[in-house]
Structure 1
Amino acid sequence: MGKNEFLTPKAIANRIKAKGLQKLRWYCQMCQKQCRDENGFKCHCMSESHQRQMEVFGQNPNRIVDGYSEEFESSFLEHMKRSHRFSRVAATVVYNEYISDRHHVHMNSTQWATLTEFVKYLGRTGQCKVEETPKGWFITYVDRDSETLFKEKMKNKRIRADIADEEKQEREIRRQIEMAEQLKPLGNETAEPLESEPKVLAKSESGEKIVLSLGASSKPVGRERVGSSKLVFEEPEIDAKNGKVKQNGKSGKIGGASRTALDDLMKEQEKAKERINRKDYWLCEGIIVKVMSKALAEKGYYKQKGIVRKVIEKYVGEIEMLESKHVLRVDQEELETVIPQIGGLVKIVNGAYRGSNARLLAVDTDNFCAKVQIEKGIYDGRVLNAVEYEDICKIVQ
């Protein structure tokens, strides 16, 4: 058996020594050989096999370096996608995880001399969000997967369809309310009073037969029945001068008796919208929130305001701080809504009118609520009283 055969003690000892990571400057990517010290690397560079590889490298050095660079970049991003797809992490942490495999493409064979240059390159190309902090460089993977983009597109399409259906249903309800408001007073005026006292049926002495009438009125069937059917199936005409309702030549004023039924209908509608739109999550993009996490007090973020740039899985917000421009990921339990000055714009983040923009009219500090007026949309101009602070938040302007 030879001196350096596979199962000799010396070969086993060499494999044990070479098992861990070695110095990057003593690694030859062309030969894929790791040397343990400077003397070993010098001897390797003088070897015949290395000289042959360098002759191949000298024929087209740019293409070989570009190939190693592309392989290093794709492997690094693939590791980011698998391990830190939705998190903000230090670049050194990702790099240490990537080089844990001994057979990776080493950085000394690429066009980047340091990890900082590579991180800046990822930021320039838009493959990662790059942020420089006192603790070093932090990166966030930008997911540009076609499947993810398709899912996001379909989700936005469903949201737009739901909003369109809701607006259509709202217009239909409004039309029915207006019809009920116009028809109810006229129906009350034209209806015949019912007899309140019951009559006792008694057999007459002359022996005449008793005839029971099942109709509500004893008037002959004729024009009145045609008129009543027309009243039901046709819209009444409204006189623009005196505000009266015209039907078959008759007119009647829209009375206040229908106001109670109208108010009840609107209240039921408000309750139904409140049940549908009241959620346990309220974060949305483009609002200003206050960080209330005491765990971040040491870093100076406690009670500081920031802008919600992205919402992750409904409950976590990616917050860009207004002062330091640092980007944090904070759960909504550790965030608080911000109320602007009177006249400022707010977004209704929860409740019946969730997603609508409104203008702040007044603030009730005793009851922790506000008065707002909705702007734009199908509810344009509607004034909401006693909206809780937690349901509205300041908008970035």
Structure 2
Amino acid sequence: MGKNDFLTPKAIANRIKAKGLQKLRWYCQMCQKQCRDENGFKCHCMSESHQRQMEIFGQNPDRIVEGYSEEFEELFMEHMKMSHRFSRIAATVVYNEFISDRHHVHMNSTKWLSLTEFVKYLGRTGKCKVEETAKGWFITYIDRDSETVFKSKMKDKRIRADLVDEEKKEREILKQIERAEQVAVVGGEEKAVGTEEMSEKAVEMAGGKVAFALGGGGVMLNEGKGKGKGVVGVFEDDLEGEKAGKKAKIEKDGNKSVLDELMAEDEKVKEKVNRKDYWLCEGIVVKVMSKKLKEKGYYKMKGVVRKVIDKYVGEIEMVDTKHVLRIDQAELETVIPQIGGRVRIVNGAYRGSNAKLLAINMDKFCAKVQIEKGVYDGRVIPAVDYEDICKIA
């Protein structure tokens, strides 16, 4: 039996060691080889086969890394779909389940340096719902199958159609009430009597025939001798009461149509998505509120944001001195221009939109703006907080 044959103790020991997962840093994705220690990985890197693979990699590294990244993402999402399709689960748990297969695509061969970056990427692209908690990152799979999306759209379409039908019915009822009111005309010798009891007395006094005019909504009294006519508004009180009830209902609902309600719901969704804890953006005018810079003369001075670093820090070019400072957004304040000036909405539902300042409410610390250009061109927002808008440089 040879020294390194299949059934030798050393060969068996090597196979036992190779069964479990090894360290990621000692894995070569190009050669698909896992080394057990640093020395073994170093020897592998010096081998001729690895050098040939690295030459192939050097010819087009971006394409190869992008290919591994796409394959890693596809397999990860497939695992999420099969195992945790309807649950909210910790990202580390899913990753540990995914890498339990020894032949998976390793993360060190992709464009993501850590699991956190990959999770944030899934959240940005809308493939998973991502939440950061005290216990770490949690993800929820978003089902985007064509059949599921189609059913959801059809359900929303039916609900909206029902709401539109209800609104049409309400309008028709109000129109009928208005037409009925216009019919009951009192003028000349025609006499309107509001109650059934009064109409009966009128019939007895007339001693003639009674003709009901259904289209007119009243009762015609024929006195027999043809000397005069009278219109009795029997249903007048009922019509007025019904209309008053309808008007009260409309006033209670705040005169909101189905379209207004849908717009309000859409705005709530946008507010939830676009409301962030950072608001700095390039090209706006801000005021420095850091008391530490008071001695240097920058306190309550205005500057223009030229660059945003890590979302929370801005490079501010001071308007007066042209000095450039790096200041955290916590020590900055938005600037409100004069009425008619242009502002940028830096937070909230319409984040990133440019608008025109129409009015300022000093008591409620908010402003009325009209969006310029884009999808919401011309839309007027009646109340936007001061900290959500800022003057454009």
TM-score by length of 2: 0.47
TM-score by length of 1: 0.47
